[in-house]
Amino acid sequence: MLLDQRRLPDEEVEVECRSAAEVAEAIRSMAVRGAPAIGIAAAYGYALAAARGEDLEAAAGVLLASRPTAVNLAWALGEMRGVTDPVSRAREIHAEEVERCRRMGEHAADLLAPGASALTHCNAGGLATGGYGTAVGALRAAFARRVLRHVFVDETRPLLQGSRLTAWELERAGIPHTVIADAAAGSLMAQGEVTHVLTGADRVAANGDTANKIGTYALAVLAAHHGIPFYVVAPTSTLDPATPTGADIPIEERDAAEITDRFPARNPAFDVTPASLITAIVTEIGVHRPPYEGSLPRLSTVASR
Amino acid sequence: MLLDQRRLPDEEVEVECRSAAEVAEAIRSMAVRGAPAIGIAAAYGYALAAARGEDLEAAAGVLLASRPTAVNLAWALGEMRGVTDPVSRAREIHAEEVERCRRMGEHAADLLAPGASALTHCNAGGLATGGYGTAVGALRAAFARRVLRHVFVDETRPLLQGSRLTAWELERAGIPHTVIADAAAGSLMAQGEVTHVLTGADRVAANGDTANKIGTYALAVLAAHHGIPFYVVAPTSTLDPATPTGADIPIEERDAAEITDRFPARNPAFDVTPASLITAIVTEIGVHRPPYEGSLPRLSTVASR
């Protein structure tokens, strides 16, 4: 059962998936989205395939192909392959991802100074991660410590994950927030209204280059121009030591009709922020600083898949 | 009669205004928008008031208050005050603005190199100027000279003047174009797909600081980061020597419900790009380069209002 993120915040409706193919379709159509969340969903999809006696390699292939950019799909399917109790392992992956969020939230909250007014993009919240959130988890932890004053939320066109999902989560958490047009972020920075930028990630290459929702790169350039720290908050399941640099990360192009169905359009769903523009990457293990080749954790579990 | 820009591109419907107050309401509600176009509309509104024997100072006050950022309202009303034949003068202002666009389009086209792939924001087209356009006028002139290959059009949230109006104009002009989410512009620049950025302006301060649609400032920062020239194309009626710097330009905050009516939001309609990020400002007189205090034309007609 998946909470259908396409229909939030207007309706809280669940989608029922009965096969790996149905889970893959839910990922493709973004009923569930967010790098850790689609990894978790893929793990459950694999477990469904195992319970139904489906061909597991074929099921893994369908799940892996559902979206290209987030490495968490490959990571979660790597974790599932060959396990004796797939349902238990999927539940374990889910619980571990939420626990990772809580740990990285504490590490990231250490980076915020009292009175912080943070900007975030897209939704790196509980919805994106199976619970709690990466960047939004950091905001939750910082708010609980009373160091976070306010959050600016990019609406995040075209699918409005910011104004539909992140604002919905922040409202439920009681964290003061303001939604803005994506194009307004630079002007708010120039006016001194943003003290920190925090985003999630869909894939972190070995050198620290990070793929995330389209618009993240522009925020990183703007943050650097204004001397504002720019933090990526992501679990180790999003690190991809097998991908050397951002240039090697596949970027999903989605249907142009998400932008306009009346005129020619292009709709890249992600962009790559070079490591040089990232102040720190925060995982559940701690805060990693440039040069990332040396500071990012070397993950034997990831490296061995 | 005004072409209702709120309903484009789906419907081509006219709004009839019978008084200065009705013109002011059409400007406020953005049935007509774009700095030169609202100046022209205000001139016609003033002429309507004169024809109906309304109190002209009151009519000018209502028209001037309809929107705060573009200086063209004040400029056009200054031009109308005391004229003996208001209808003829309004028609003249309209014709002069279009002629200014044609001249500045030629000057701006000189700045583009063959194979240019330009990015523009919002709508600085014929709709915004009574015909032809400022930044879009430059694109028309450059396309006619065969130096312009392609135009990327920011959709321009929240009111989508890019994907509704600029794309509609470029389609009618036969100029190849692609609409993108505002947040995608930086990533396209990083990939080398943008050779020039051209925008209009709502007000140019004496030092060259320029107010334009929210998001313009971020584009200027991104263009500078990527070494891409950033040009403002605007008629002398948009220059405001009486405003020393961008900090003195009033920025309109529009209804937050244009962003979202479900969560708290902020909706500044404009931002200010500092002169230091502007490669050149192009008026009908020519190409003006920094320092703008010396290079922008000294306009006795503007200075004397």
Average pLDDT on A156-182 reads 98
Q: Which residue has the higher pLDDT, B301 or A155?
A: A155
- Residue A194 C-alpha, separation from nearest chain B C-alpha, in angstroms: 14
Element (H, E) at B240: strand B239-240
Mean per-residue pLDDT of chain A: 96
Q: What is the dihedral of CA A92, A94, A99, A105, to 10 degrees?
A: 160
**At B200, is the secondary structure helix, strand, or coil?**
coil
Q: Which residues of chain B approach chain A closer than 8 Å at the C-beta?
A: 9, 121, 153-158, 163, 167-168, 171, 176-187, 190, 213-215, 217-218, 221-222, 225, 259-260, 262-268, 271-272
The string of pLDDT tens digits covering residues A18-63 is 999 999 999 999 999 999 999 999 999 999 999 999 999 999 999 9
pLDDT recorded at residue B298:
80
Q: How far apart are CA B295 and CA A191, in angstroms?
A: 28
Q: What pLDDT is attached to residue A303?
A: 41
Q: What is the sign of the dihedral through the CA atoms of B160, A187, A132 and B263?
A: negative
Flag if B271 and A190 touch (Cβ within 8 Å). Answer: yes
Q: Using pLDDT thresholds of 50, 70 and 90, give the confidence band for residue B299.
A: low
Instruction: Give the pLDDT of residue A299.
Output: 67
Mean pLDDT of B185-197: 98
Structure-token match 């102040």, residue found: A279
Convert the pLDDT of each residue in A219-243 to its tens digit: 999 999 999 999 999 999 999 999 9
pLDDT tops 70 at residue B305: no
**Is B271's CB within 8 Å of A181's CB?**
no
Task: Give the residue-averaged pLDDT of B99-121.
Answer: 98
First to last CA, chain B: 28
Under an 8 A CB cutoff, do A215 and B266 touch?
no
- Give the pLDDT confidence score for residue A242 in this predicted structure: 95
Q: Which of A55, A110, A154, A202 is the catalytic position?
A: A202
Q: Give the angle A272-A288-A157 at the CA atoms, nearest 5°.
A: 30
CA A97 to chain centre: 12
3-state secondary structure of B261: coil
CA–CA separation, A292 vs A135, rounded Å?
19
Residue of B189, B221, B270 to mutate, interface with A, max A Cβ within 10 Å: B221
A233-256 mean pLDDT:
97
For chain B, what is the radius of gyration of the CA atoms? Answer: 18
pLDDT in tens, A191-209: 999 999 999 999 999 999 9
Virtual torsion, Cα B280, B285, B286, B289, nearest 10 deg: -40
Contact of A94 with A72, CB cutoff 8 Å: no
Average pLDDT of the residues in B56-75: 97
CA angle B123, B45, B240 (to 5 degrees): 55
User: Distance (Å, rounded) from C-alpha B265 to C-alpha A199?
Assistant: 19
- CB-nearest partner of B181 from A259, A262, A272: A259
pLDDT above 70: residue A301: no
ipTM for the whole complex: 0.96
Q: With 0-12 CB in 10 A as exposed, 13-18 as middle and 19+ as buried, what is B278?
A: buried
